[in-house]
Structure 1
Amino acid sequence: MSENIGKPILWIVIPCYNEEEVLPVTAPLFLQRIKEMASSGMISDKSRILFVNDGSKDRTWELIEDLAKSDEHYIGISQSRNRGHQNAVLAGLMEAKDVCDITISIDCDGQDDITAMDKMVAAYLDGAEVVYGVRSSRDTDTFFKKFTAESFYKILNWMGAEVVYNHADYRLLSSRVLNEFADFHEVNIYLRGMVPLVGFRSATVYYERHERIAGSSHYPLTKMLHLAFDGITSLSIKPISIITGIGSIVSFIGFIGIIWAIVVALSGDGFPGWASTVCMILFLGGIQLISIGVIGTYIGKIYMESKHRPRYIISEKTWEPYERHYKG
């Protein structure tokens, strides 16, 4: 009887974009973690570390290929072009769902505490199908990043989106959850808000987030704002409701203004009001442009969804000839 029977096969899914500086440092750490978990009997020794190259412009894919040759636990796939962090994570999860029992997605930069994986797997063995890695504090963040991040989670929850506070993309998902998640066909992907929609029993593991081990962050303020706006508009239609409410208030104020103007005109106390006229025009024009912009964003998302384009395209794999041996 195989010694792996009853032990879950784990695939650690790691998106990579221009990580040639950090990959040689963190890859051995992931390998050590997975071997320690396997030797302790927590997971199967058929578990793997899946690097997803997201169209990197540096030597990231070459390094992944070299890693795959150096140890069987390392495997990799490369997207045909850069599709963004969320699509890269999704690509890895979908490639893994049929050949493993559980996945843990984590960034390549070494900021997330990899020792928390033990608690995640333990929670899975205890019955949880989804385990969220949640930061216990934001002491390493700047005041600006801490304020904007916490505000973002509060805004998302206020908008009606179901997200886990202080959770990013460090999570465990069972193959059962992944198979159900495969039926979500959105092109506009925001995994942090989509995973809770699948349901199933969940658990939370808290961990400390560290400084990036090497290299520089690939998430500047512009990308963070884009991700935040994408998350809000992908998970909630409340912005349209807010626009409707603002429009109603402005219309009511405008109606009162019209009555006031008529009363003033009939009383003969009228005077040239070019300043107030300009202010009203600019105010209403600004409201209209913002409203059209938000509504246009939703229409654009509908347009992209209607095309049914593939969310990722895999151009290369390091393990394709052997993938049938991973599970069984």
Structure 2
Amino acid sequence: MNTQKLTIVIPAYNEEEILVNSVHRLIDIEDQIAAKEAQGLQGIRADILIVDDGSKDRTWELVEQLHQENSRVKGLRFSRNFGHQPALIAGLNEAVKTADMLVTIDADLQDDPDKIPEMVELYAGGDDIVYGVRNNRDSDSWFKRTTAQGYYRTLHMLGVELVPNHADFRLMSKRAVQTLLDYPERNMFIRGIIPKLGFKTGRVEYKRTPRMAGESKYPLKKMIAFAWDGITSLTIAPVRLILILGTIACLLAMGMVAYAVILKILGLTVHGWSSLMVSMWFMGGVQLISLGVIGEYIGKLTTEVKDRPRYTIQTILE
């Protein structure tokens, strides 16, 4: 196999406390890969691309400093905060121009970067996509562990292909990335799209570690929004569920009409305020929820039709 280039893409948002140490550690790992030369790979070249997602701290200043110290460190800066998924897409779009294999990993390195050499070996063996998969969730709180497992089960029931316990730590070949970038949608849920690409896949298992510094960029509110985006981006099952609920409600209404007629014939009609109000509030709630779900899909369609850019790049350090 000819000389291959590896690029590690790191989305970063307000990571000044940890970025320098993370980059130095990744450079060491790249050097180990180049020295080892995975089976079938000779003369591996490697670099790092950091995507600054509109950070408000010294993150970009540190990226520029790292770039001056080592030309293997590249940088891409957004004009404002666009989000984690657009940052990944932008990094892949830029790195795929020169890279043969690309690894994405978060700046906090909670996903084990020491597994990257194993990913490269699987790539050399013919895998176009190598997933980093957590082998346990012992480091998570009970709430986070339970909700995560429930989320994966829900998506599976809705017919969504998803790799359980896999985030955005993965290796992809050049052709796999190019195929992913052919998907033009603005509301892209990358974790759900990649399994649809159809390329040969492998996996490495690892244990997630706590952050060495800084705060998580995914509080509960963002996690819920991210989960909902995943559902609405990959399946129309919620809309179908509304149809089912509406059908059931109509059948129940027909049953209640028959019940009321029978009571009227038998002279057992009882005038009740409570049952009427409960029914009105229940049906009103169902209708509002239904309109909200449908509105969510309409909103996403509006965004796609407008065809606005996913992100705006302010600066590139090459």
TM-score by length of 1: 0.94
Counterpart-to-counterpart distance in 2, 1:121 and 1:158: 33
**1:108-131 CA distances to partner (integer Å, 9 max, x unpaired)?**
002011111011111100000011
Match of 1:34 in 2: 30
**1:173-210 CA distances to partner (integer Å, 9 max, x unpaired)?**
11111111121001001110011111111111111110
- Residue 311 of structure 1 deviates from its aligned partner by 1.1
- The question of 1:266 aligning with 2:265 is answered yes
Indicate the percent of aligned positions where both proteins have the same amino acid.
Answer: 43
| 1:308 partner amino acid | D
Counterpart-to-counterpart distance in 2, 1:146 and 1:285: 34
Give the one of 18, 23, 30 matched to 2:19.
23
Contact kept in structure 2, 1:35 and 1:45, CA below 8 Å: no
| 1:74 partner amino acid | V
**1:120-166 CA distances to partner (integer Å, 9 max, x unpaired)?**
11110000001111001101111101011111111111111111011
| 1:119 partner amino acid | E
**1:9-31 CA distances to partner (integer Å, 9 max, x unpaired)?**
01000000000111122121111
- The question of 1:276 aligning with 2:272 is answered no
- Residue 267 of structure 1 deviates from its aligned partner by 2.4
Contact kept in structure 2, 1:7 and 1:41, CA below 8 Å: no
Q: How many residues align?
A: 315
Q: Which shows bigger deviation, 64-73 or 20-29? A: 20-29
- Residue 240 of structure 1 deviates from its aligned partner by 0.9
Contact kept in structure 1, 2:3 and 2:45, CA below 8 Å: no
RMSD of aligned residue pairs (Cα, Å): 1.2
Match of 2:317 in 1: 318
Give the one of 7, 10, 22 matched to 2:6.
10
Match of 2:307 in 1: 308
TM-score by length of 2: 0.97
Secondary structure of 2:133's partner? strand
Q: Which shows bigger deviation, 299-308 or 261-270? A: 261-270
Contact kept in structure 2, 1:15 and 1:85, CA below 8 Å: yes
**1:242-287 CA distances to partner (integer Å, 9 max, x unpaired)?**
1111111111111111111122223222122111000100111111
Match of 1:322 in 2: none
Secondary structure of 2:170's partner? strand
Consecutive unaligned residues of structure 1, counting only runs of 5 or more, are 320-328
Contact kept in structure 2, 1:9 and 1:45, CA below 8 Å: yes
